[in-house]
Amino acid sequence: RSRLYKDDVEIEISNKEWAILEPMMMHPHQIFSKSHLEQKLYDWQSDVSSNTIEVYIHHLRQKLGKDFIRTVRGIGYCIDQPSD
């Protein structure tokens, strides 16, 4: 399990959630397709079901806020850096 901090509160996330979240955090504003994110999970799970990414994105939004990960309809997902 990995840990993140949001507003000085520790948030525990699974290794699979981290595998999806890490590339998006490393490259904010870059849109990652569902298939690209599925490839990140192949190390953890050889049989990725059709809604696996949506399930993990849902879990991450519950933990990090519903607006943390943005869906770009028909393309994929990204993290937008907060505007000051």
Q: For residue 59, what pLDDT is reported?
A: 95
Q: For residue 1, what pLDDT is reported?
A: 65
Per-residue tens of pLDDT for the chain, all 84 residues: 677 888 888 999 998 899 999 999 999 889 999 989 988 877 655 566 778 899 999 999 999 999 999 999 999 999 976 544
Question: Which candidate, 23, 24, 17, 84, places its Cα nearest to that of 55?
Answer: 17
- Residue 78, burial from CB neighbour count under 10 angstroms (0-12, 13-18, 19+): middle
Q: Model's pTM, two decimal places?
A: 0.83
Q: For residue 52, what pLDDT is reported?
A: 87
